[in-house]
Amino acid sequence: MSDTLALEFDCDLARLERDMIHHYLSQQSYWAAGLPRDVFERSLAGSLCFGVYVAGKQVGFARMITDQATFAYLADVFVLPDWRGRGISKALLAHIIAYPALQNLRRMLLATADAHGLYAQFGFTALSRPEYMMERLEQQVYQRLAAAVATPGGTQG
């Protein structure tokens, strides 16, 4: 359980173990496989990022894409495999939900394939009106960007 661990949460971008986070997202996650490094760096710059640390070592991460007034989208939530099963993800989510800049938002969204039960504990539900929601999805964007970089004269955009 997390209460036996001394967890520390920090939003300092300079403290994030960027190589570890990028490796996890691009190589181990189901949602960001193949994430190019430059796209990853831009995603951090445009987000409110949360690192979770044990004895100074980063063991988890999440980020909120938000205007800090009306809306936030929770993304890239993970705890490293060796640290799972200790309540760290619950503690991280509790910290994020209580974070001062994220109070009184009208809507928070997220997408998950496998952690519905975890997020439900923090008030997340299926969309109340899915017929009102739309998306524009380019499923292969990371592969397209990687191919453009690998091709002489290729450009990213």
Cβ atoms of residues 64 and 106 within 8 Å: no
Q: Does some domain include residue 152?
A: no
- pLDDT given for residue 154 in this prediction: 57
pTM: 0.88
CATH code: domain of residue 10: 3.40.630.30
115-144 pLDDT, tens digit per residue, is 999 999 999 999 999 999 999 988 888 888
Tally the domains of the chain.
1
Q: Does some domain include residue 133?
A: no
**Full pLDDT tens readout for the chain, 157 residues:** 445 789 999 999 999 999 999 999 999 999 999 999 999 999 999 999 999 999 999 999 999 999 999 999 999 999 999 999 999 999 999 999 999 999 999 999 999 999 999 999 999 999 999 999 999 988 888 888 888 877 766 555 5
Rg (C-alpha) for the chain, rounded Å, is: 17
Residue 75: domain span:
2-125
